[in-house]
């Protein structure tokens, strides 16, 4: 079949390379930068350039742009997709995207499914993309009541065929609440952590724990500003929750209250141990 | 020479194994648990059991107990060490230990140096100890004005001889301020992070960022309660700082203020990038 990837950054580029590696599908690559398209062609990541006109030839279109651009692209090109064709996105927030485009695409006869490939790197752009980025990762689908069941089944099989380890189905709301806790909060906390002035004088002291806590502080502020603002309420809940929890440790330490401190640390250890049993 | 290790847990056991692996020194192991001493003997991690009586035979004694026990052991046995012998500890807080024992040990003719081997695991006990735990790690020394320079030089050479990658000298106060930011805060934040109720429903969503952020949530609440309370002020400063910083993200998100949010995220990214240049 013919697959058109829109946006050849880290996510889109990795889709192209994974599809080329694992399947015989024809891959068309569309990007605002001619240079990037040329590079993708040279590296054999795509068979040919994709354009607005070639969208009609694609059995599957995967839009890999930032959330706002994903929404405008889908709405702008809603009549350019093949009738009955399958279109999905790859944004890290789902309610905002699914709510904005589902009705229009539906009326245009396009089978749209909100998706989120759970993988990333601290790097971005086509140069950072790789064929194995998704190997073993989760491919999340966020269908709504109107979503075509065949399109869901098709995408689940497609995801596994290019290396994803599992597919997970959740409602857009459930996805956004959970992603606020597992991914967005991690980026906020990591970015806040690195701001301690004490860290400027710590050469030779850097422990593994500190490197872990600040790894994702190196983020794209453009992308994450957009993701955070499109997922306000769930993320605010998570930030407020961790602030409240941090205050408990703070107060126990300030009071020299060993019993309380030991108890709240034990609670955290036990939750992490339970979590390791579920998630490893 | 003869080296006596006091406390055969993760830290002490790893010292025994690293010394046995890399040197010809005689290693005596002292532990409150006879079982652990037997195991260390069986595994060849020590040559013989160490006792209060053998302390006098040791050129170097490394005390690897929790902070309170380290202080009581050093004070209780101050007349049992060899006059002119070198004694160091391995605690994660230094001002509390160095202040409590330096004068007494000095008057007893013992050359004491506060030390902190910067390595650890999420596991504890002799069973978790390993010969390569310190390979490439930092060995931190926290001498004071009265500390014998020869003892410092001796320990620096010793640390390198058993695999440490570098030695760092800092005042006890400087050590404690920095360790609050690089290690203690990481454990508090990680332990607080795992308490989000949303994480209980996240099977299949767990991203790398979340696993990094919560790795050290699995901690020994006994040990960390002690370390936190012995380093109150520096740690409170760090917790208050990250709470203040988190509130900035919170407020920008609540206000939908993309410019401010982008700016504070960029600041964090730039600090992390500068940090990577210094610490990797």
Nearest to A279 among B197, B203, B240 (CB): B203
Interface-testing mutation among B96, B124, B210, B276, with chain A (most A C-beta atoms within 10 A): B210
Q: Touching check for B207 and chain A: CB below 8 Å? A: yes
CATH of the domain at A73: 3.40.50.720
Interface-testing mutation among A122, A221, A237, A260, with chain B (most B C-beta atoms within 10 A): A221
- What pLDDT does B182 receive? 92
pLDDT at B190 over 80: yes
- What pLDDT does B280 receive? 53
Let me know if B272 is exposed, middle or buried by CB neighbors in 10 A (0-12, 13-18, 19+): buried
Nearest to B183 among A207, A248, A271 (CB): A207
- What pLDDT does A165 receive? 94
Round to whole Å and give the CA distance between B148 and B159: 17
What mean pLDDT is reported for chain B?
95
Statement to judge: residues A65 and A114 lie in one domain = yes
Statement to judge: residues A106 and A214 lie in one domain = no
CB contact under 8 A, A207 and B186: yes
User: DSSP 3-state assignment of B140?
Assistant: strand
Interface-testing mutation among A94, A193, A232, A273, with chain B (most B C-beta atoms within 10 A): A193
- What pLDDT does A122 receive? 74
Measure Cα distances from A87 to A53, A93, B30, B180 in Å. Answer: 15, 17, 67, 49
Domain count, chain B: 2
Instruction: Find the mean pLDDT for residues B99-110.
Output: 97
Q: Which two tokens stand for residue A235?
A: 């993320």
Q: How many CB atoms neighbour CB A163 within 10 A?
A: 20
Statement to judge: residues B196 and B144 lie in one domain = no
Pairing verdict, β A86-89 and A60-63: parallel
A68-75 own/partner pairs: CB under 8 Å, 24+ apart: A68/A226, A69/A7, A70/A97, A71/A96, A71/A97, A71/A100, A71/A101, A73/A6, A74/A100, A74/A101, A74/A104, A74/A105, A74/A112, A75/A100, A75/A101, A75/A104
Instruction: Find the mean pLDDT for residues B84-95.
Output: 97
Nearest to A214 among B193, B224, B272 (CB): B272
The answer to whether B41 and B49 have CB atoms below 8 angstroms apart is yes
Domain boundary among B138, B153, B170: B170
Pairing verdict, β A26-30 and B166-169: unpaired
| Residues of B whose CB is below 8 A from A219 | 265, 268-269
Q: Touching check for B182 and chain A: CB below 8 Å? A: yes
The torsion angles phi and psi of A26, rounded to 5 degrees, stand at -85, 125
The interface pTM score, or ipTM, of the predicted complex is: 0.90
CB contact under 8 A, B209 and A219: no
Residue-by-residue pLDDT tens, chain A, 280 positions: 999 999 999 999 999 999 999 999 999 999 999 999 999 999 999 999 999 999 999 999 999 999 999 999 999 999 999 999 999 999 999 999 999 999 999 999 999 999 999 988 778 899 999 999 999 999 999 999 999 999 999 999 999 999 999 999 999 999 999 999 999 999 999 999 999 999 988 766 766 788 899 999 999 999 999 999 999 999 999 999 999 999 999 999 999 999 999 999 999 999 999 988 876 5
User: DSSP 3-state assignment of B79?
Assistant: coil
3-state SS record for A127-165: HHCCCCCCCCCEEEECCCCCCCHHHHHHHHHHHHHCCCC
Domain boundary among A146, A170, A194: A170
pTM for this structure? 0.90
Statement to judge: residues B118 and B22 lie in one domain = yes
CATH of the domain at A188: 1.10.3660.10
Let me know if A42 is exposed, middle or buried by CB neighbors in 10 A (0-12, 13-18, 19+): exposed
Statement to judge: residues B152 and B188 lie in one domain = no
Round to whole Å and give the CA distance between B182 and A169: 38
Statement to judge: residues B153 and B65 lie in one domain = yes
CB contact under 8 A, B246 and A241: no
Instruction: Find the mean pLDDT for residues B221-240.
Output: 97
- What pLDDT does B121 receive? 78
Statement to judge: residues A94 and A107 lie in one domain = yes
Q: Touching check for A271 and chain B: CB below 8 Å? A: yes
Statement to judge: residues A159 and A210 lie in one domain = no
Statement to judge: residues A38 and A160 lie in one domain = yes
Say what the alpha-carbon torsion angle B53, B57, B60, B63 is, to the nearest 10 degrees.
Answer: -10
Nearest to B228 among A189, A238, A261 (CB): A261
Round to whole Å and give the CA distance between B236 and B233: 5
Least-confidence region, from A177-181, A191-195, B193-197, B207-211: B207-211
Statement to judge: residues B221 and B107 lie in one domain = no
| Residues of A whose CB is below 8 A from B181 | 196, 198-199, 202, 210
Cα of B218 to nearest chain A Cα, Å: 4
CB contact under 8 A, A249 and B192: yes
pLDDT at B279 over 70: no
Statement to judge: residues A231 and A166 lie in one domain = no
Q: Which domain holds residue A224?
A: 174-279
Domain boundary among B170, B195, B212: B170
Statement to judge: residues B135 and B247 lie in one domain = no
pLDDT at B72 over 80: yes
- What pLDDT does A23 receive? 98
pLDDT at B11 over 80: yes
Instruction: Find the mean pLDDT for residues B142-153.
Output: 97
Cα of A242 to nearest chain B Cα, Å: 6
| Residues of A whose CB is below 8 A from B186 | 193, 207, 209-210, 212-213
């Amino acid at each position: 079949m013919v697959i058109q990837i829109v946006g050849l950054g880290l996510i889109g580029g990795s889709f192209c390379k994974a599809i080329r590696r694992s399947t015989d599908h024809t891959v068309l690559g569309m990007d605002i930068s001619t240079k990037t398209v040329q590079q993708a062609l040279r590296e054999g990541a795509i068979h040919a350039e994709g354009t607005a006109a070639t969208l009609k030839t694609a059995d599957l279109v995967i839009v890999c742009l930032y959330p706002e651009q994903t929404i405008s692209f889908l709405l702008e090109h809603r009549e350019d997709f093949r009738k009955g064709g399958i279109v999905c996105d790859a944004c890290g927030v789902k309610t905002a995207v699914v709510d904005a485009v589902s009705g229009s695409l539906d009326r245009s006869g396009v089978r749209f499914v909100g998706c989120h490939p759970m993988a990333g790197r601290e790097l971005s752009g086509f140069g950072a993309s790789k064929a194995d980025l998704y190997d073993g990762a989760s491919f999340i689908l966020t269908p709504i009541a109107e979503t075509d069941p065949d399109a869901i089944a098709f995408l689940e099989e497609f995801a596994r065929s290019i290396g994803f380890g599992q597919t997970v189905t959740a409602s857009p709301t459930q996805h956004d609440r959970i992603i606020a806790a597992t991914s967005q909060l991690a980026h906020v906390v990591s970015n806040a952590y690195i701001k301690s002035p004490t860290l400027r004088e710590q050469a030779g002291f850097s422990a593994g724990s500190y490197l872990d806590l600040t790894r994702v502080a190196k983020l794209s502020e453009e992308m994450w500003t957009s993701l955070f603002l499109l997922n306000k309420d769930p993320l605010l809940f998570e930030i407020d929750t961790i602030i409240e929890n941090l205050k408990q440790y703070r107060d126990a330490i300030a009071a020299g209250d060993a019993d309380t401190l030991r108890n709240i640390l034990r609670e955290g250890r036990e939750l992490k141990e339970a979590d390791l049993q579920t998630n490893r």
